[in-house]
Amino acid sequence: MNPINRDPQTTARGVDFRDDLADRLRNDRDLEADYVEAHERASLGLRIARLRAERGLSQTQLAARIRTTQSVISRYESADYANYNLETLRRLASALGADLRIELREKSKT
């Protein structure tokens, strides 16, 4: 099969990547923990960026509202960022007209 015409959700071995990922996550707890952590970070950054865009704000405008710099907003919107500050998150939520919720949940027993 020509790799250019291959279904983007199928690996070179002909396995659906979602099925392959699910299998790997089931069988490798370290990979699962890393995947969940990366997903949570990326989701938070994406949510901040979406809320900002929905409010019609630039990164610079949002930064001014919470008395920080545009580069801080850029970092907080990055999928790779992990050093969030709780007070900054509170200020961001307030400036965006959003609720900040942080919760601890028991791990599912599998």
pTM of full prediction above 0.75: no
Domains defined along the chain, listed by start: 17-95 (1.10.260.40)
User: Residue 87 has which token pair?
Assistant: 């007070």
User: Residue 31 has which token pair?
Assistant: 């990979």
Query: Tens digit of pLDDT for each residue in 4-56?
Result: 444 555 556 667 878 887 888 788 888 777 777 766 666 888 899 999 999 99
Q: What DSSP string describes 34-95?
A: HHHHHHHHHHHHHHHHHHHHHTT--HHHHHHHTTS-HHHHHHHH-TT-----HHHHHHHHHH
